[in-house]
Amino acid sequence: MGKVLVFGHKNPDTDSITSSLVIANLERKLGNNDVEACRLGNVNKETEYVLNYLKLEAPTLINDVEDGTEVILVDHNSPEETVSNINNAKILKIVDHHRLCGLVTDTPLYFRAEPVGCTGTIMYKLYKENGIEIDKKIATLMVSAIISDTLLFKSPTCTELDKKVGIELSRIAEIDLEKYGMEMLKAGTDLSSFSIDEILNLDAKETLLKSVKTVINQVNTASIPEVMKMKDDLERGMNKIINEKGLDLFVLLITDIVNSNSQVIALGKNADLVEKSYGVKLEDNTALLKGVVSRKKQVIPIMTENA
C-alpha cells in the first residue's frame, strides 16, 4: 500500500490546507512516516499569505485517489466535498468541525468531530493529548486556521475554546494576533488576479436545503462596494453555473470582514428563500444581511429551516 494521503475539502480554505499539513506532521511524530499532505484545489490568497509567511510549499494537488488508498480527511465529512471515488478509498481517520454529511465506511475508523469554530482547535487538542510538542511553525499554521474560520474571533461560530487556543498558539508562534490576523484576512480579500469563474468557485459549497439544490459561495472583502462593481459579470457567471449544475438557487455572500455584514446576491427559481429566511427584500437580486458572516451557522441552517 502507498502513502496515506491527508486532505481537506474541495475549494480549500486556510483551515483545510493548514490542517492537512498539521495532521500529516502529527502522524509522522506518532511514527507514521509514509504520509503526505494533499489538497483538492488551488490555494487562495489568504492561505498563500500564510504559506509565504512560513516559507512553506502548498500540499500536493490531487484530483482523485486510486481505489484502496488509505486517506485521512480533515475539515470535511461530506461526499460532495471530497474526491469522487471516496467510497473506494480506505478512510482511516476524520477530524472535522462540521455537521455529519453522509459518508459511509466499510470498516471502523477514528472519527473526531467537535462543535468548535475551526479544525485547528481540535488539532491543538490532539497534539496535547498525544504529548507532542507544538513548534512555532505548526502553531502558526493552527492559529492561522482559527483566525480564518472565526474571522479573528468575530464569527458566531467562534467558541471560548477557539479564543483560548488561538491566544495560546499566538504566543507559541510569537505573532501579534491582531496585526497578523488582519493582514492575513485582508490578503484573502484581494480578488484582482481572479477571473469571475474563479471567484465563483473560491469557496463554493454545494448543498441541499431540504430539496432545494443550492450552491452557497462566500468571498471576504474589506469593501463590499468594490466587489459589487463586478455584479453584472458575477450574475452572468452565476447563471451559467445554475444552468450547468441544474441548481435551484445560487447564493453569493460578499462578507465584510471589517464591519461583519454580508451583501448577498441570490439567483435561481428559489431566490425568494433568501427573503423568507432573513426578512429582507431582494432588489435587483441583492440585499444586505446585517451581522451575517457565517455560512455554517447563519446561512445553511436558517435557510434549510425555511426551505
2 pLDDT band (50/70/90 cuts)? confident
Phi, psi dihedrals of residue 274, rounded to the nearest 5°: -65, -45
Cβ-based neighbours of 39, under 8 Å, separated by 6 or more: 7, 8, 12, 16, 17, 20, 58, 59, 60, 61, 62
31 pLDDT band (50/70/90 cuts)? very high
Q: Does residue 7 surpass a pLDDT of 60?
A: yes
| Mean pLDDT along residues 257-271 | 96
| Mean pLDDT along residues 154-158 | 93
Strands 60-61 and 70-74: unpaired
Owner of C-alpha cell 431582494: 282
When comparing pLDDT for 205 and 50, which is higher? 50
18 pLDDT band (50/70/90 cuts)? very high
User: For 122-132, what is each residue's pLDDT tens digit?
Assistant: 999 999 999 99
Are the CB atoms for 137 and 54 separated by under 8 Å?
A: yes
Q: How far apart are CA 255 and CA 259, in angstroms?
A: 9
Q: Does residue 72 surpass a pLDDT of 90?
A: yes
| Mean pLDDT along residues 247-257 | 97
Average confidence score pLDDT of the chain: 96
Q: Does residue 71 surpass a pLDDT of 70?
A: yes
Q: Does residue 187 surpass a pLDDT of 80?
A: yes
Q: How far apart are CA 124 and CA 23, in angstroms?
A: 10
Cβ-based neighbours of 51, under 8 Å, separated by 6 or more: 17, 43, 57, 58
What is the pLDDT at residue 208?
92
What is the pLDDT at residue 202?
84
Residue 88 C-alpha cell reads as 473506494
Q: Does residue 199 surpass a pLDDT of 60?
A: yes
Q: Does residue 1 surpass a pLDDT of 80?
A: no
